[in-house]
């Protein structure tokens, strides 16, 4: 029994030591990279916590909000740590660059804000953003830069003590695949609590059909080899008339008058 306790003692001492060890991180907040407001340090439990540095650019409320901050992170593995960018249309986007670490003062440097890009990449996604269960009327929008995925997420958007359900669709960076149900994305203004979502590779923008030209509109006409047969006209030769006979009677009309003429000559001779 004593030997068993002696074997467990090193493990118990190591656990107690780890639970009691603190982690020191830098703190500050600001709207420029100098992050000059409230500089200092914070302490957290090294076993579960870490240090956080964030640079973000968000336009969900119609205005551009850029923030930089450093702080302690009480739950080191609960939030999304990769840089992420997504665009939900109408000039609304979220761009966050996050670094996390868990050694003393490891967050002394600030990451840069993802700049985004206006260059279309040949892909497209449905985009929309809606709060408070309003209909998210999506429109197909060309994607830009490294946003090569289509995302579709729902959840709760927290701003201070208040929160609202939201739905978001848009073009996203490949890192959006890290967003899963139950994950959180913390920003200076908001915290996104996702309870459903998916990210799939974006589809290519269909190429337009070739333009219609005047030549392509012409309907091919088949050439018909038509043989025209001409019937020669019949020429009627004029009939020859004799002894003043009518042309309509022809050459046999004189024979009709012969008996009558013979009779007249006999009468003349006898008289």
Residue-wise pLDDT for 36-71, tens only, equals 899 999 999 999 889 989 999 999 988 999 999 999
Q: Which two three-digit tokens encode residue 228?
A: 């025209």
Residue 179 CB partners (closer than 8 Å, separation 6+):
80, 84, 151, 153, 185, 194, 197, 199
- Alpha-carbon torsion (65, 66, 71, 75), positive or negative: positive
CA distances from 3 to 6, 7, 9, 13 (A): 5, 6, 10, 16
pLDDT at 25 over 80: yes
Closest CA to 105 of 185, 186, 22: 22
pTM beyond 0.85: the answer is no
Asked if residues 83 and 111 have their Cβ atoms less than 8 Å apart, the reply is: yes
81 CB neighbour count, 10 Å cutoff: 17
Instruction: Give residue limits of the domains in the chain.
Output: 21-204
Of all residues in the chain, the percent with pLDDT exceeding 90 is: 42
- Alpha-carbon torsion (74, 190, 188, 201), positive or negative: positive
pLDDT of residue 160: 84
> Rg of the Cα trace of the chain?
51
Give the range among 55-69, 85-99, 107-121 with minimum mean pLDDT.
Answer: 107-121
pLDDT of residue 248: 39
The band of 252, judged by pLDDT with boundaries at 50, 70 and 90, is very low
pLDDT at 264 over 80: no
pLDDT at 112 over 70: yes
pLDDT of residue 212: 64
- Residue 190's Cβ-count burial label (10 Å; 0-12, 13-18, 19+) is buried
Give the range among 168-182, 197-211, 217-231, 243-257 with minimum mean pLDDT.
Answer: 243-257
Q: Which two three-digit tokens encode residue 226?
A: 């038509």
Residue the block writes with tokens 């003692």: 9
CA–CA separation, 140 vs 126, rounded Å? Answer: 4
CA–CA separation, 42 vs 24, rounded Å? Answer: 6
């Amino acid at each position: 029994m004593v030997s068993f306790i002696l074997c467990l003692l090193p493990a118990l001492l190591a656990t107690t030591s780890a639970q009691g060890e603190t982690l020191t991180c830098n703190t500050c907040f600001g709207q420029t990279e100098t992050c000059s407001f409230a500089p200092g340090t914070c302490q957290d439990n090294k076993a579960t916590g870490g240090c956080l540095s964030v640079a973000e650019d968000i336009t969900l409320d119609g205005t551009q909000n850029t923030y930089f901050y450093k702080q302690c992170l009480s739950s080191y593995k609960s939030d999304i740590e990769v840089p992420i960018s997504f665009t939900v249309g109408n000039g609304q986007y979220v761009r966050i660059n996050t670094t996390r670490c868990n050694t003393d003062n490891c967050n002394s440097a600030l990451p840069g804000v993802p700049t985004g890009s206006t260059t279309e990449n040949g892909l497209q996604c449905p985009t929309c953003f809606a709060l408070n269960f309003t209909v998210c009327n999506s429109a197909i929008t060309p994607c830009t830069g490294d946003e090569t995925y289509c995302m579709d997420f729902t959840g709760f958007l927290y701003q201070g003590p208040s929160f609202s359900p939201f739905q978001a669709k848009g073009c996203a960076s490949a890192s959006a695949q890290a967003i899963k149900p139950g994950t959180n994305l913390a920003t200076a203004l908001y915290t996104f609590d996702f309870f459903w979502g998916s990210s799939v590779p974006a589809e290519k923008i269909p190429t337009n059909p070739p333009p219609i030209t005047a030549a392509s509109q012409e309907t091919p006409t088949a050439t018909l080899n038509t043989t025209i047969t001409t019937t020669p006209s019949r020429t009627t030769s004029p009939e020859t008339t004799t002894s003043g006979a009518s042309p309509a009677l022809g050459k046999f009309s004189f024979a009709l008058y012969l008996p009558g003429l013979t009779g007249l000559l006999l009468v003349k001779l006898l008289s």
